[in-house]
Amino acid sequence: MNGQTTIHNSTPVIELKNLSRWYGEVLGVNRITATIYPGITGLLGPNGAGKTTLMNLICGLLRPSQGSVRIFGKPVWNNPKILSRIAYCTQYDSFYERMTSFEFLYFLLSVRGYDRATAKLLAVQALERLKLHDVMNKRLGGFSKGMRQRVKVALALADNPEILVLDEPLNSLDVVGRHEMMELIKSYGCEGRNVLISSHILHEIEEMTDNILMLSHGYLLAEGDVREVRGLLKQHPHKIYIRCDAPRRFASLLFEMNGAHSVQIDPDSEGLVAQTFDLDTFCHRLNDIVLNNHIHVSLVTVSDESIRAVFEYLTESAHV
Amino acid sequence: MSELSHSLKNSADEKNRQRFRQALTIINLSIRRYLFTRYMWLLICLGLTPCLFTGMIAIAKIIHEGYGRQPQISDMNQFMQMAFRLFYIHFVIFFVANIFGFLLLRKEVDDRTLHYLFLQPVSKTLVILSKFVAFIIVTWIFLSATFLLMYVIMFIPYGIGVMAKDLFESGRAVSLVEESFVMLVALALYGAISMVMGTIFKTVWYGMIFYLWETALPYLPSTFKFFTVSHYLQAMTPERGAIPPHMFELYGEMPGPLHCFIAIVLILTVFIGITVFLIRRYECRYAES
């Protein structure tokens, strides 16, 4: 896996050369050299791996301490021209709270250089695409986290940029929302656009692309095919935390359906932690249990411990 | 060849038009962000304080002397000039410009919204200068309006006719326009300085040192006076010919119009230049803010 290269015929979209970024003494990313080609590319790494720093460098929000970032062959730092070809959906949950979602998109599209009529049209289309047209005249301050996430993605998608950079866009979304978002991103990639998407959950990335960059502690650990990482995961089950109103019943139903490798009830009896090697089957079983047994589930999160284990494995292999 | 140069000129024109449109949108966006925030309330409170004082004086005059008596125009001119020189220049404009100028960039960083502007295909310089223009528009219109309101309130005990006579026959309208222009210059100068400070510092406390420096003007040796903004603002303020000379003798010798012009251009160029230099190197890093 380590050091694997894939041969591409197409022109590179993003080129990172010996890219480093330090925050004083703290390392953000270190000596990253990689080339990103057209299509969807996943940026995978546990929390604190340097994914956001790398994305901020790629989009020109940060200046490299060393090395360079080139987009379509041009440097990105202090180069506003290139920004007309990129859209970046950040992790920051911050907005102009007093504005409506429509105004928010309309103003920022106008700053992007579109005239009034075009900005209005693009804003409405983007909100419709993200199923936010019903609330387009409501203030952003009153939006739920999931809706705010969708507004950010709508803004990023609004003018069909050539490069779409998404920093953990599936955060705060419910199961249906995640599925819809993944489909949207996939369809965007299928249209021949370039998408760079980050996540600390391998399963999410795997749903959308085979092509990944793996980061850990600021270093590029591997780049290439996600299936090779998947193979390594066989030794490391996924850990899923479920918060529901009947965790004991839920656990017994999971076992009955052979849906989990192990289940542990949370000490506060308000949830359970299940472990599985097959996340797809687990998700289907989870849906069946919820629908057939009327159990109210308030939260389902996949921990990144499994992917962390793979990172540890890869880090160890790299040192040997 | 001429076709090529024509099309290049057209494309350059289109780019300029687009840049202008982008600047206008940022101005509009910034003005909207000022409205209904706690900072706007601060502006309202600071701006209306002189009106409130004038209102209290007007009521007291009506109570004690009755309505419609003959005004002492020289007293009123003295009051207006004192209010402008001491209250507006040294207090209201100073604080408004410092707080709003400081917040131009800092508020976007504190609200974690700066990246929305920095991710657009528009230079950081244009972003900050557009925000600067928005700040000037909002504060200047409001403060000029409150100054005018103060003037109107002052004439309440004497009636509208007396006010109209003073405005148009005694030429007070020109003085008001001049004072409004001094306000604009003051906002621009203090705003440009605090804009630099907002790019460097995280809190506005530096303003207290700056304030002490500026208010110490009358007590500074004459060489130091040239390093205060208020020295030039006092010099630019129109004389209403009603102030006893000893009242402002502490201000020392006032610079002439040419000196004022050079100083204003120099201060604006230096501080806007520093802001442009800093902003081009500025990174969006909220975590450390």
Read off the pLDDT of residues B69-125 as tens digits, 9 standing for 90 and up.
676 777 777 788 888 888 888 889 999 999 999 999 988 998 999 999 999 999 999
- Residues A44, A212 contacting (CB under 8 angstroms): yes
Lowest mean pLDDT among A296-300, B140-144, B156-160, B237-241: B237-241
What whole-number distance in Å separates Cα of residue B43 and Cα of residue B51?
Answer: 13
Radius of gyration of chain A (CA): 21
In a domain, B14, yes or no: no
Instruction: Identify which has the larger pLDDT, B217 or A290.
Output: A290
Give the residue-averaged pLDDT of B148-164: 87
In a domain, B288, yes or no: no
- Residues A58, A316 contacting (CB under 8 angstroms): no
CATH number of A234-319: 3.30.70
Three-state secondary structure call for residue A156: helix
| A80 has a chain B CB within 8 A of its CB | yes
- Torsions phi, psi for B75 (to 5 deg): -60, -40
Minimum Cα–Cα distance from B18: chain A residue: A113
Q: Give, rounded to a whole angstrom, the gap between the first and last alpha carbons of chain B.
A: 53
Report long-range pairs for B39-48 (Cβ below 8 Å, ≥24 apart): B39/B99, B39/B100, B39/B103, B39/B107, B42/B96, B42/B99, B43/B96, B43/B100, B43/B138, B43/B139, B43/B142, B44/B142, B46/B91, B46/B92, B46/B95, B46/B96, B47/B92, B47/B96, B47/B142, B47/B143, B47/B145, B47/B146, B48/B146
- The CA distance from A107 to the nearest CA of chain B, in Å, is 7
Minimum Cα–Cα distance from A92: chain B residue: B112
What is the pTM assigned to this prediction?
0.82
Range of the domain at B219: 29-280
CB contact under 8 A, A94 and B284: no
Q: Is the pLDDT of residue A238 over 90?
A: no
pLDDT value for B247: 62
Give the residue-averaged pLDDT of B258-273: 94
Angle (CA) A173 A174 A175, round 5° = 120
Q: Which chain B residues are Cβ-neighbours of A87 within 8 angstroms?
A: 119
User: Nearest by CB to A96, which of B113, B120, B124?
Assistant: B113
What whole-number distance in Å separates Cα of residue A208 and Cα of residue A189?
Answer: 9
What whole-number distance in Å separates Cα of residue B227 and Cα of residue B219?
Answer: 13
Q: Which of A17, A23, A44, A36 is nearest to A193 (CA)?
A: A36
Q: Which chain A residues are Cβ-neighbours of B283 within 8 angstroms?
A: 61-63
H helix count then E strand count, chain B = 12, 0
CB contact under 8 A, B284 and A87: no
- Residues B107, B52 contacting (CB under 8 angstroms): no
User: Nearest by CB to A108, which of B112, B116, B281?
Assistant: B116
Q: What's B171-238 look like in SS3?
A: CHHHHHHHHHHHHHHHHHHHHHHHHHHHHHCCCCCHHHHHHHHHHCHHHCCHHHHCCCHHHHHHHHCC
- The CA distance from A11 to the nearest CA of chain B, in Å, is 23
pLDDT value for A3: 35
CB contact under 8 A, A115 and B123: no
How many structural domains does chain B have?
Answer: 1
Instruction: Identify which has the larger pLDDT, B242 or A240.
Output: A240
- In this structure, what DSSP letter does residue A139 have? B
CB contact under 8 A, B111 and A80: no
Please give the structure tokens belonging to residue B173.
């309208």
Q: Is the pLDDT of residue B15 over 60?
A: yes
What whole-number distance in Å separates Cα of residue A181 and Cα of residue A99?
Answer: 24
Minimum Cα–Cα distance from A93: chain B residue: B112
Three-state secondary structure call for residue A272: strand
Q: Which chain B residues touch A if contact means CB-CB below 8 Å?
A: 18, 21-22, 25-26, 28-29, 32-33, 36, 111-113, 115-124, 280-281, 283-286, 288
The yes/no answer to whether this complex scores an ipTM above 0.85 is no
| A53 has a chain B CB within 8 A of its CB | no
| A63 has a chain B CB within 8 A of its CB | yes
CB contact under 8 A, A111 and B119: no
Instruction: Identify which has the larger pLDDT, A291 or A42.
Output: A42
- The CA distance from B237 to the nearest CA of chain A, in Å, is 38
- Chain centroid to Cα A270, Å, comes to 28
CB contact under 8 A, A113 and B22: yes
Q: Give, rounded to a whole angstrom, the gap between the first and last alpha carbons of chain A.
A: 14
In a domain, B60, yes or no: yes
pLDDT value for A2: 37
Confidence of residue A4 (pLDDT cuts 50, 70, 90): very low
In a domain, B202, yes or no: yes
| A24 has a chain B CB within 8 A of its CB | no
Q: Is the pLDDT of residue B5 over 80?
A: no
CB contact under 8 A, B120 and A83: yes
CB contact under 8 A, B29 and A111: yes
What whole-number distance in Å separates Cα of residue B49 and Cα of residue A232?
Answer: 71
pLDDT value for A191: 84
| Residue at token pair 């600021």 | A218
Candidate CATH numbers 3.90.1010.10, 3.30.1330.40, 3.90.550.10, 3.40.50.300; the one for domain A14-232: 3.40.50.300
Please give the structure tokens belonging to residue A251.
């656990």
Q: Is the pLDDT of residue A209 over 80?
A: yes
What whole-number distance in Å separates Cα of residue A69 and Cα of residue A87?
Answer: 16
Lowest mean pLDDT among A179-188, B10-19, B44-53: B10-19
For chain B, the residue count is 289
Minimum Cα–Cα distance from B123: chain A residue: A80
Q: Which chain B residues are Cβ-neighbours of A96 within 8 angstroms?
A: 29, 32-33, 113, 116
Confidence of residue A303 (pLDDT cuts 50, 70, 90): low
- The CA distance from A285 to the nearest CA of chain B, in Å, is 40
What average pLDDT is seen over chain B? 86
| Residue at token pair 């609004």 | A158
What whole-number distance in Å separates Cα of residue A214 and Cα of residue A202?
Answer: 10
What average pLDDT is seen over chain A? 85
Confidence of residue A7 (pLDDT cuts 50, 70, 90): very low
| Residue at token pair 């400081």 | B102
CB pairs under 8 A between A and B: 75
Q: Which of A190, A163, A160, A229 is nearest to A12 (CA)?
A: A163
- Residues A28, A50 contacting (CB under 8 angstroms): yes
Give the residue-averaged pLDDT of B206-217: 84
Instruction: Identify which has the larger pLDDT, A35 or B289.
Output: A35
Q: Summarize pLDDT for B16-32 with one digit per residue, the tens.
A: 888 999 999 999 999 98
Q: Which chain A residues are Cβ-neighbours of B21 within 8 angstroms?
A: 110, 113, 115
pLDDT value for B190: 95
The total of other beta-carbon atoms located within 10 Å of residue B158's CB is 22
Q: Is the pLDDT of residue A11 over 80?
A: yes
Q: Which chain A residues are Cβ-neighbours of B22 within 8 angstroms?
A: 110-113
Three-state secondary structure call for residue A213: strand
| A108 has a chain B CB within 8 A of its CB | yes
| A60 has a chain B CB within 8 A of its CB | yes
- Torsions phi, psi for A236 (to 5 deg): -130, 100
- Domain locations along chain A: 14-232, 234-319
| A59 has a chain B CB within 8 A of its CB | yes
The residue type found at A114 is: Y
Instruction: Identify which has the larger pLDDT, A201 or A90.
Output: A90
CB contact under 8 A, B121 and A60: no
Confidence of residue A319 (pLDDT cuts 50, 70, 90): very low
Q: Which chain A residues are Cβ-neighbours of B131 within 8 angstroms?
A: none
In a domain, B236, yes or no: yes
